[in-house]
């Protein structure tokens, strides 16, 4: 049964909730192969590298799964100056990356004027800019876009409102959705995503998440496994399953064939070949870290992150070697999503 559903997804790029659940419950290698075939057809064989700049670990939110949550008093907080962020982006450019991802916890430390200085100076380097620091006002999103920001990643983590509220105390699910709509309206490449294996999450919820992405017309989707953090209320929960995460990612490739889909770093925390497996199962993006080694352990969203003691040049050489080792090329472009329409 599920074999025919994979074929249907591969050709029609559409399944119902029940059909998605059927595939996720049963399929494995056939699903990965189909996703890899669709990836090859729609986005090609080149992998896009994004230099990741984790510029602050300060966060005002109480998310129950995240090591950066405001209640974690055992973490050493930091934030980079505007100049340090720009200099880190320059370093990313020196490694040949065509895009930087500016990511942080959600806070109000950086003003609109700060972001204007940061974004305009990075744009002078000829880089595309992805921003990822949470919910902002429409005016702030408009300002960042006017300064030259190209993309915005705002993960929703689950589209089940009841589970969302449980995991995000005092946060507004509908505001998160509205932010994604605003991001899309303003002409960003819009990115979102979920964690797989969250406590209380079901396959039906995941199937509805995937159809939410399709309905929202997302341009890029980040999928990673839930990894429990010892300084959170979910510290005793089991980690998400690596292969279910890969299945979900592969299914997304089948139903949204021309989006950008990263092989996320968290996958490699659970499996030493995680990013390679992901790249062979539908992914076409990787995000090597360009932060100085001093800061990396402090950005502990989840424990046991890979590469926290590796220099940016070592990370660059490592991921390039892995990509070439599976016969894939490395893009020399900014890697705009094939799905994106201005």
What per-residue confidence (pLDDT) applies to 103? Answer: 98
- Per-residue pLDDT of 19-73, as tens digits, reads 999 999 997 899 999 999 999 999 999 999 999 999 999 999 999 999 999 999 9
Under the banding of pLDDT at 50, 70 and 90, the label for residue 342 is confident
Query: Tokens 């950086």 label which residue?
Result: 110
What per-residue confidence (pLDDT) applies to 153? Answer: 98
What per-residue confidence (pLDDT) applies to 2? Answer: 85
- Per-residue pLDDT of 201-219, as tens digits, reads 999 999 999 999 999 999 9
Query: Tokens 């497996």 label which residue?
Result: 277
- Per-residue pLDDT of 89-135, as tens digits, reads 999 999 999 999 999 999 999 999 999 999 999 999 999 999 999 99
The 3-state secondary structure of the chain reads CHHHHHHHHHHHCCCCHHHHHHHHHHCCHHHHHHHHHHHHHHHCCEEEEEEEEEEECCCCCCCCCCCCCCCCCCCCCCECCHHHHHHHHHHHHHCCCCEEEEEECCCCCCCHHHHHHHHHHHHCCCCEEEEECCCCCHHHHHHHHHHCCCEEECCCECCCHHHHHHHCCCCCHHHHHHHHHHHHHCCCEEEEEEEECCCCCCHHHHHHHHHHHHHHCCCEEEEEECCCCCCCCCCCCCCCCHHHHHHHHHHHHHHCCCCECECCHHHHHHCCCHHHHHHCCCCCEECCECCCCCCHHHCCCCCCCCCCCCCHHHHHHHHHHHHHHCCCEECCCCCCCCCCCC
What per-residue confidence (pLDDT) applies to 10? Answer: 97
Under the banding of pLDDT at 50, 70 and 90, the label for residue 307 is confident
For residues 50 and 333, what is the distance between their CA atoms, to the nearest angstrom? Answer: 11
Query: Tokens 């919820």 label which residue?
Result: 205
Q: Answer yes or no: is pLDDT of 139 > 90.
A: yes
> Could you tell me if 290 and 100 are in contact, meaning their C-beta atoms sit under 8 angstroms apart?
yes
Least confident range from 216-230, 250-264, 310-324: namely: 310-324
> Could you tell me if 280 and 317 are in contact, meaning their C-beta atoms sit under 8 angstroms apart?
no
What per-residue confidence (pLDDT) applies to 66? Answer: 98
Q: Where are the domains of the chain?
A: 2-330
What per-residue confidence (pLDDT) applies to 277? Answer: 97
Mean pLDDT within 281-304: 95
Q: Answer yes or no: is pLDDT of 310 > 90.
A: no
Domain at 2-330, CATH homologous superfamily = Aldolase class I (3.20.20.70)
Under the banding of pLDDT at 50, 70 and 90, the label for residue 308 is confident
For residues 339 and 39, what is the distance between their CA atoms, to the nearest angstrom? Answer: 12
């Amino acid at each position: 049964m599920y074999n025919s559903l994979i074929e249907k997804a591969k050709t029609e790029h559409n399944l119902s909730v029940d059909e998605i659940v059927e595939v996720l419950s049963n399929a494995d290698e056939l699903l990965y192969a189909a996703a890899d075939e669709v990836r090859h057809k729609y986005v090609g064989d080149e992998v896009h590298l994004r230099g990741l700049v984790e510029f602050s670990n300060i966060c005002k939110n109480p998310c129950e799964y995240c090591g950066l949550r405001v209640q974690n008093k055992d973490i050493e907080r930091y934030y980079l100056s505007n100049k340090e962020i720009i200099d880190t982006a320059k370093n990313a450019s020196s490694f040949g990356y065509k895009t930087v991802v500016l990511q942080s916890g959600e806070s109000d430390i950086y003003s609109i004027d700060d972001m204007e200085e940061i974004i305009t100076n990075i744009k002078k380097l000829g880089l595309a800019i992805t921003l990822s620091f949470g919910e902002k006002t429409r005016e702030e999103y408009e300002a960042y876009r006017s300064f030259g920001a190209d993309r915005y990643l705002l993960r929703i983590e689950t589209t089940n409102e009841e589970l969302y509220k449980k995991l995000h105390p005092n946060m507004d699910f509908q505001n998160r959705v509205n932010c994604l709509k605003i991001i899309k309206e303003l002409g960003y490449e819009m990115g979102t995503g979920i964690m797989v294996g969250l406590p209380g999450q079901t396959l039906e919820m995941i199937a509805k998440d995937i159809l939410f992405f399709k309905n929202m017309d997302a341009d890029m989707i980040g999928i990673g496994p839930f990894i429990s953090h010892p300084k959170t209320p979910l510290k005793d929960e089991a980690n998400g399953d690596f292969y279910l995460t890969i299945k979900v990612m592969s299914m997304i490739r089948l139903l949204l064939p021309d989006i950008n889909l990263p092989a996320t770093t968290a996958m490699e925390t659970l499996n030493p070949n995680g990013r390679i497996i992901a790249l062979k199962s539908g992914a076409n993006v990787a995000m090597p870290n360009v932060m100085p080694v001093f800061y990396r352990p402090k950005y502990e969203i989840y424990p046991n992150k890979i590469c926290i003691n590796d220099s940016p040049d070592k990370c660059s050489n490592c991921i390039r070697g892995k990509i070439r080792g599976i016969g894939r090329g490395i893009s020399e472009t900014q890697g705009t999503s094939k799905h994106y329409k201005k």
